[in-house]
Structure 1
Amino acid sequence: MSTWRTRIEPFTRPLFFVWSRLTRGKTLGVRGVAVDAGGRVLLVKHTYLPGWWLPGGGVDKGETTQDAVVRELKEEAGLIARTPPRLISIHSNERFFPGDHVLVFRIDAFDLGERSSEGEIAEIGWFHPAVLPEDVNRGTRARLAEIFDEVQTDTNW
């Protein structure tokens, strides 16, 4: 699916990186692994990036990483955590954006509500970790293999 955001992303992403570096120095992001009662994992498709991803995003100034992942899950998928997220792993995202780090949290107890983000998420889906869509982002696929297939954790995203 090609949207205007997909077409302009290659041009706007470098500007976003410059702005992030100027306002944040190092950057910190979070991703949430939400698992439903059937063992399925929540994934999202952005309007501006190809493929399926774990929901998540940047940690805002003054926000804890746990608060950030709870906020991102609510915004992107309408997921409302009932218990605190559990830290699973920490990764360097140097390959994609120098100075960036990503923390992965797991959330097992939640309710589903309405998404609060507008225009960012094209689609949400629940998938069994053994039967993922072909177009799952490489980092997402690696994190799920580490969690569900006991593959050794790679500290690089």
Structure 2
Amino acid sequence: MTWRIHVEPFTRPLFFAWSRLTRGKTLGVRAVATDAGGRVLLVRHTYLKGWWLPGGGVDRGETTQAAVVRELREEAGLIARSAPRLVSIHSNERFFPGDHVAVFIIDAFDPGEPTSRGEIAEVGWFSPAALPADVNRGCRARLAEIFDGAPVSDLW
């Protein structure tokens, strides 16, 4: 664990207040990328516990498709070769009122270098049937929906 994980619970209210003042509602994206062996890409942040699907916030003036392509490259170094395919949108009210998350599948990509500095602690490829125990609850649910046919929830 890095120091950022311990500081994040204290800085989160400031981030949320700033986000609410500048955005009103927030929109995030998550990417589901799989390799030739069927393994799914997950990232571990330096400021959050557990494994997550790569993703982040949609910037002002940016489309969700552009945001998920950007986030995939920033966090994992993957360069999308195909258009992202929207699979679901979820309300993230439990974590942050007014927040929504769009989940995209990216079918084809090339390896590259991550451009994010200091945000990602680790990148890993995992079988959907053997995910790490500490995968984020929402990410685990999305993967079950996509790979196991679980009912799609409108909540993150």
3-state SS of 2:100 partner: strand
Q: Which amino acid aligns with 1:39?
A: G
Q: Which amino acid aligns with 2:128?
A: P
Identity among equivalent positions (%) equals: 79
Q: In the alignment, which residue of structure 2 is the partner of 1:135?
A: 134
Q: Provide the aligned length of Structure 1 versus Structure 2.
A: 156
Measure how far apart 1:125 and its partner are: 0.2
Q: What is the root-mean-square deviation in Å for CA atoms of aligned residues?
A: 0.5
Q: Which amino acid aligns with 2:140?
A: R
Q: Which amino acid aligns with 1:144?
A: L
Unaligned regions of 5+ residues in structure 1, if any?
Answer: none
Distance 2:129 2:43 in 1: 17
Q: Which runs of 4+ in 1 moved over 6 A?
A: none
Measure how far apart 1:72 and its partner are: 0.2
Distance 1:97 1:81 in 2: 29
Q: In the alignment, which residue of structure 2 is the partner of 1:75?
A: 74
Distance 1:65 1:43 in 2: 19
Q: In the alignment, which residue of structure 2 is the partner of 1:33?
A: 32
Q: In the alignment, which residue of structure 1 is the partner of 2:109?
A: 110
Unaligned regions of 5+ residues in structure 2, if any?
Answer: none
Measure how far apart 1:7 and its partner are: 1.3
Measure how far apart 1:4 and its partner are: 1.6
3-state SS of 1:84 partner: coil
TM-score, normalization by structure 2? 0.99
Measure how far apart 1:108 and its partner are: 1.1
